[in-house]
Amino acid sequence: MIDLYLASGSPRRRELLGQTGVTFERISAEIDETPLAGETPRDYVLRLAAAKAEAGWAAMLAQGLPAKPLLAADTTVALGDVILGKPVDAFDATRMLKLLSGTTHDVLTGVGLRTADGVDVVLSQSRVTFMSLSDAQIAAYVASGEPMDKAGAYGIQGLGGLFVANLAGSFTGVVGLPLHDTALLLGRHGLGHLAEQA
């Protein structure tokens, strides 16, 4: 018997969620991830985390699956108020990496847990400082293919970690699922290793 559903196709999130002590199954939940006009990166990532959780809950009900809590998350990279999502192609990945080169940026991950009582959402915010990157370094990294399915066009847990000169915040939050915040969220709802004992 599972504890919850995970509305994410990310293998990184699946691996991290397994560390919280819950058993889960993946469920598909697609939403429109286009930012709203004037939306801040913080509001954007919280909205998407909640929307993914609601979409996953609706998919669970539509498929006639046993009702269980449903977890969803969204990660975005923000340079000031500029949202850097997943690159659409190599040119876009190169553009993002040039923007991030030599800067300090925010990585925001919203985590939403949908239960019968509604959606509970938490936010993890980390500050990441990149070294200055040469055109050759950027080209080699883009050619590796790693940037293509990652917010901000880099993966801190892979080759992209070589560019990170400093990190203030949650490493796992930058990867895509902040373990501490997620465990506390689950614990509030009686799930995982940090669940409050009655």
For residues 119-132, b (16+ Cβ closer than 10 Å) or e, as one string?
A: bbbbebbbebebee
Question: Is 120 an annotated catalytic residue?
Answer: no
Reported residue count of the chain is 198
- The H or E element spanning position 114 is strand 104-115
List, as own/partner pairs, every contact residues 59-67 make where C-beta atoms lie below 8 angstroms and the sequence separation is at least 24, other chains included: 59/7, 59/27, 59/28, 59/29, 60/5, 60/27, 63/27, 65/5, 65/27, 67/116
Given 74, 81, 92, 120, which residue is catalytic?
A: 74
Q: What residues act catalytically?
A: 74
